[in-house]
């Protein structure tokens, strides 16, 4: 039975489900969920992430990790953690850059936080099993040494809830079954949180899962020391908007069209995520655009060196740089922020006025 048929049967038994529950089923159902069974990354898959655009992205994040370790006073042990490591491309590029600092390479201990068995198999094929440890959750990583955590396009996969402003006020958007027996959006009860005033038809989103993760990362970093870097497309200020989308074969489609077959995402609410981390005792940086962040790390110089080593690839490298930093491509859409221990200043990012 397809996931769509399972969801329709569930809704007929139990009633309409929240958008968040729908996202969770589509992405993580053990038998039919997208990440649990059929994740397709890269040019031949459903979507491309920054590590697949260019090796420079991961290399610069590797240099960022080394700089954080240096700012920590070069501890003899540090855990290099990636959450949502995809097919291992990012970490392989991070490792390449880290080899420029043999002392850091010797001090670091790599951990990958992964729940998808197909992706863990891809990571093993790319990185090997030597020198890598896996955990299914951040809580599975010991906190007896500082942590340097990287996460690219993780927050956008966390389930969101939605509400619509109607003439009766806010009503939670839910997923039900229409008169023809197909999945369809419907309206439910008043949402559990205060969303303030709205305009007719306005949609607002919130994510308890995102805030829970913010608190968990904040508490972990505050206890262990270190910093956690998050890069994702999302909001730098609270506001309305329906950002739920499905991607399949590099094209957008309706979120209800192919449950479990397409990837589902929503814009990350960076202010809510960072606020939750501060509540847990960590400090945070200001939110930066990806283009500004990569320029501050020296992507221009890295591109020059790659071009000098591979002059026949000059045009390709130039296009890759533009894809990563141009305002009309990934440069402004993707945001960057760090959660860090008090007293640490992560490189490439400005301090937050809220700490």
Q: What are phi and psi of 333, to 5 degrees?
A: -60, -40
Q: Three-state SS for 113? A: strand
Distance from C-alpha of 305 to C-alpha of 53, rounded to nearest angstrom: 17
Q: Tell me the per-residue pLDDT of 295-339, one tens digit each, with 9 for 90 and over.
A: 999 999 999 999 999 999 999 999 999 999 999 999 999 999 999
Q: Would 269 be classed as within a structural domain? A: yes
Residue 313 sits in a domain whose CATH number is 3.40.50.12710
Identify which of 336, 342, 339, 344 has the alpha carbon closest to the alpha carbon of residue 277. Answer: 339
Query: How far apart (Å, rounded) are the C-alpha atoms in residues 291 and 333?
Result: 9
- State yes or no: pLDDT of 193 exceeds 60: yes
What are the tens digits of pLDDT across the range 229-249? 999 999 888 889 999 999 887
CA distance 220 to 236: 23
Secondary structure (3-state) at 343: coil
pTM, two decimal places: 0.94
The answer to whether position 296 is within a domain reads yes
- Domain coverage including residue 86: 3-16+27-155+219-340
Tens-place pLDDT, residues 194-232: 888 889 999 999 999 999 999 999 999 999 999 999 999
- Number of folded domains in the chain? 1
Asked if the structure places residue 69 within a domain, the reply is: yes
Tens-digit pLDDT profile for residues 250-296: 678 889 999 988 889 999 999 999 999 999 999 999 999 999 999 99
- Is 124 domain-assigned? yes
Question: Can you tell me the distance from the alpha carbon of 296 to that of 289, in angstroms, rounded to the nearest whole number?
Answer: 11
Residue whose C-alpha is closest to residue 337's, from 233, 240, 266: 233
Give domain status of residue 72, yes or no.
yes
pLDDT in tens, 32-73: 888 877 666 655 555 678 999 999 999 999 999 999 999 999
Query: Considering the domain boundaries, does residue 238 fall inside one?
Result: yes
Single out the residue of 71, 74, 144 nearest to residue 103, CA to CA: 74
* Residue 107 domain-assigned (yes or no): yes
Q: Is residue 192 part of a domain?
A: no
């Amino acid at each position: 039975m397809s996931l769509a048929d399972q969801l329709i049967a569930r809704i007929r038994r139990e009633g309409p489900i929240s958008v968040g529950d729908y996202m969770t089923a589509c992405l993580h159902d053990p038998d039919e969920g997208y990440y649990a069974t059929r994740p397709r990354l890269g040019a031949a898959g459903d979507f491309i992430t920054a590590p697949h655009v260019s090796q420079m992205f991961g290399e610069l994040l590797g240099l960022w990790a080394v700089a954080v370790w240096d700012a920590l006073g070069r501890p003899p042990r540090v855990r290099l953690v990636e959450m949502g490591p995809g097919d291992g491309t990012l970490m392989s590029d991070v490792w390449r850059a880290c080899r420029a600092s043999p002392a850091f390479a010797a001090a670091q201990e790599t951990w990958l936080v992964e729940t998808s068995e197909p992706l863990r198999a891809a990571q093993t094929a790319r990185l090997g099993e030597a020198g890598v440890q896996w955990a299914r959750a951040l809580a599975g990583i010991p906190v007896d040494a500082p942590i340097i955590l990287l996460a690219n396009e993780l927050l956008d996969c966390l389930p969101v809830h939605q509400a619509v402003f109607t003439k009766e006020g806010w009503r939670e958007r839910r997923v039900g079954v229409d008169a023809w027996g197909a999945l369809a959006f419907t309206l439910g009860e008043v949402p559990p949180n205060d969303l303030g005033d709205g305009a007719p038809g306005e949609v607002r989103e919130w994510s308890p899962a995102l805030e829970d993760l913010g608190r968990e990362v904040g508490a972990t970093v505050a206890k262990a020391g270190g910093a956690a870097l998050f890069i994702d497309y999302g909001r730098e200020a609270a506001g309305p908007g329906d950002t739920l989308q499905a991607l399949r074969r590099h094209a957008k489609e309706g979120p209800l069209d192919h449950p479990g077959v397409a990837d589902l995402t929503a814009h990350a609410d960076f202010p809510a995520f960072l606020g939750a981390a501060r509540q847990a005792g960590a400090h945070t940086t200001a939110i930066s655009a990806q283009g500004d962040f990569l320029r501050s790390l020296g992507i221009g110089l890295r591109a020059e060196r790659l071009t000098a080593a591979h002059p026949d690839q000059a045009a390709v490298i130039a296009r890759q740089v533009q894809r990563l930093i141009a305002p009309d491509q990934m440069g402004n859409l993707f945001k960057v922020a760090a959660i860090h221990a008090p007293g640490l200043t992560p490189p490439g990012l400005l301090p937050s006025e809220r700490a």
